[in-house]
Chains A and B, each alone.
Chain A
Amino acid sequence: MAEVVLRNVMKTYGTMRAVNDVSLTVQHGEFVALVGPSGCGKTTTLNLIAGLLPMSGGDIIIANRIVNDLDPKDRDIAMVFQNYALYPNKSVFKNLAFPLQMRKLPQSEIDRKVREAAKVLDITHLLDRKPRELSGGQQQRVALGRALVRDPAVFLMDEPLSNLDAKLRVQMRSEIKRFHQDLNATIIYVTHDQLEAVTMADKMAVMDGGILQQYDTPAKVFANPVNMFVASFIGSPAMSLVPLEMTSVDGAAALTSRAEGWTLPLSDFNARKVAKAASNKVVLGARHSTIRLHKTAVPGAVPAKVYTVEPTGDITFVQAFLAGAVVNISLPPSVEVAPDEQVWLDFDQDRIHLFDGETEIALQAD
């Protein structure tokens, strides 16, 4: 059972905390994506798990062994790098054979395993070539092959698809997913592309500023982001965040934009949420599909002004200004709106998110 546990893992460079107190558990056979913007500490975390960087604090446990002081070679891991890191002077065969040679396997065994891995990845016809004679997708496969040839406890992947062109990326995405299902492998996968994380991973660990923000299934992260960072980072187009103020209308809680002079009544459930806010500043979060657009004023809707209209065929995306923020809305293509048009928006109260304007944390009703 190859379980990976990170316990209060720290990595500091001087006063800079690249990885700040990260704890998480990757179950055997799980595909976990570490996702976040560049510089969030996700690659550093991966390198710590691999043992390529010394930790500043905490414990890393792989398959029930504390590996803090073990060399990368003794951690029973394999890694796929962003630039593939194929040995340029070795043929594909020798690239795949290298990890086995290092483990002093007999030549016949090496031969068998390399051919087996090559067959799985459909690169048998490339075994005699040098890496520079391969296309990007083929290099990618060889890199995967070198990782799977020795059957490690954990696969680490550092943005393995980001050097591929868009079409190949989609194809390799499903191949890696397939690879995970077939091998029942434990995979920790670093990416800055939230779409890759959402589509491939069983669980995603969203990081920002060296801190693990949220660790859950993609569906739960999508449905219940714990703070404004996660809310805006996951999902495309991004969740719209509108800073508003708390007020009350006839004793019922509501949100208001003082500058634009309108109020938005809240449902009881949402009213219980905003009651938890530290100040009267509340941020309204809404995904494009939870906002309805009206061309005339209706009760409960708030006025906005259309900024851009982007038809994509199936869906038309509209950006509109609301209380100084830009709001993304999706419409069926049959609805026609023009830039600068005055429109009215109302929100699906069951699916909106409310955040504390001071702490940026999601507000929860008891």
Chain B
Amino acid sequence: MTEEELDRPRSRKSIDGWRWGGRAFLALMLIYTALPMVWMLLTSIKSGFAAMQFPPQWWPDEPTLASYEKLLDPQNSVGQDFLRFFWNSLIVSVCTTVLAVLVAVPAAYAFSRFSFPGRRFLFFSVLLRNMFPAVIFLVPLFILMRMLGLVNTHGSLILTYLTFGLPLAIWLLKGFYDNIPIQLEQAARIDGATRFQAFLLIVTPLSVPGIIATAIYSFIGAWNEYIYAATFLTKNEQLTLPVGIQRFFSENTTDFPGLMAASFLMNVPVVVLFLVLQKYFVRALTEGAVKH
């Protein structure tokens, strides 16, 4: 037996060691991220009593959808509140997303294609807002909103969320436009398109994945936001889901199955969005990593 043959199994074992280590790590991460979700789901189908039991029931003895029925029943006061919060969240998030995309698309395109005085300065100043933790702006923005008479309106939240979402949307989209060869637009302009037609007919279809990624990003940011929503809105009928769920359940005795069912329902739109659009999202985040 030569030395080489003796060596080979050992080196293979070390590769396997790494591979198994990697798998174990991934499994741990999976448990870490999935377990709370699983627990949320399980709790949401327990009865109130079963949820508080110790030692806990891993699988409920009597699974029930009562919490979901209560939350989604418009006849019931709990259901009325929940559905209203859900609707409020949807309005705020969709408005934020639509406005963010409408502003970010032309802004990002301009940053990517045109040279104008102050371009660099403007581009980096767009990021200024994101250099500070959100809470720092809570009081100044509140004062601003009060001066504008927007406290207790959804408009205040939409405006605020845009200040978070827009800079990132512009950066993300600019990267996308940078990757679309300028020759495509030039070709279109020579082929008979105006600048705007070239943008609309050639560039925009190619940037759809970027726009979708940007939209998901703004939507999730607005959908999950808590602090500003809790500060700017005081009237019960205006609350968004994160604030609504929290108030709603701490006012009564804590109804864990109800809380978990509401949390689960709150996650549904985000998860659905991700599942449907994830391929665009991943593409957007890796775009530009390699030169085509």
Contact = CB atoms under 8 A, between A and B. Distances in A.
B202 interface: yes
B186 A73 contact: no
Contact of A72 (B183, B186, B202, B206): B186
Interface in A63-122: 71-73, 75, 77-79, 81-83, 85, 87-89, 98-99, 102-103
A150 B181 CA distance: 23
Contact of A50 (B184, B186, B188, B205): B186
Interface residues of B, number: 16
A146 to B, nearest CB: 7
B192 A79 contact: no
A72, A79, A150 — which one has the most chain B CB atoms within 10 A of its CB?
Answer: A72
A275 interface: no
A52 interface: yes
Given A88-B206, A89-B205, A89-B206, A79 B186 contact: yes
Given A83-B181, A89-B206, A73 B194 contact: yes
B193 A85 contact: no
Interface of A is mostly: loop
A72 B184 contact: no
Question: Which of A88, A102, A103 has the most chain B CB atoms inside 10 A of its CB?
Answer: A102
B254 interface: no
A78 B188 CA distance: 10
Nearest to A149: B191
A82 B182 CA distance: 12
B184 A87 contact: yes
Contacts of A51: 189
Interface string A217-257: 00000000000000000000000000000000000000000
Contact of B190 (A78, A82, A83, A87): A78
Contact of A52 (B184, B186, B191, B206): B186
A102 B186 contact: no
A227 to B, nearest CB: 33
B139 interface: no
B197 interface: yes
A81 to B, nearest CB: 5
Q: In the complex, which of the residues A77, A78, A88, A146 has the most CB atoms of chain B within 10 Å of its own CB atom? A: A88
B292 to A, nearest CB: 10
A102 B191 contact: yes
A88 B202 CA distance: 9
A99 B183 CA distance: 15
What band does the interface of chain A fall in when counting residues whose beta carbon is under 8 Å from B?
20 to 34
B206 A102 contact: no
Contacts of A71: 189, 194
Most chain B CB atoms below 10 A, which of A73, A78, A99, A146:
A73
Nearest to B183: A85
A52 B192 contact: no
A102 B191 CA distance: 7
A75 B183 CA distance: 17
Contacts of B186: 47, 50, 52, 72, 79, 81, 85
Contacts of A98: 188, 191
Nearest to B186: A52
A154 to B, nearest CB: 11
B34 interface: no
B191 A146 contact: yes
B181 A102 contact: no
A71 B194 CA distance: 8
Contacts of B189: 51-52, 71-73
Nearest to A98: B191
Given A81-B186, A81-B187, A99 B181 contact: no
B181 A73 contact: no
A178 B192 CA distance: 26
B191 A73 contact: yes
Contacts of A102: 188, 191-193, 197
A88 B181 CA distance: 11
Contacts of B187: 79, 81, 85, 87, 146
A52 to B, nearest CB: 5
Contact of A99 (B184, B191, B197, B206): B191
Contacts of B183: 81-83, 85
A34 to B, nearest CB: 17
Given A81-B183, A85-B181, A72 B190 contact: yes
Given A79-B186, A98-B191, A102-B197, 19 more contacts: A47-B186, A50-B186, A52-B186, A71-B189, A71-B194, A73-B189, A73-B194, A75-B190, A79-B190, A82-B183, A85-B186, A85-B187, A87-B184, A87-B202, A88-B184, A89-B205, A98-B188, A102-B191, A146-B191
16 contacts: A47-B186, A71-B189, A72-B189, A72-B190, A73-B190, A73-B192, A73-B194, A78-B190, A79-B190, A83-B181, A83-B183, A85-B186, A87-B187, A88-B184, A89-B205, A89-B206
Sorted nearest first, the 10 A-B pairs with minimum C-beta distance are A102-B192, A85-B183, A99-B191, A85-B187, A72-B189, A73-B192, A81-B183, A72-B190, A79-B190, A52-B186
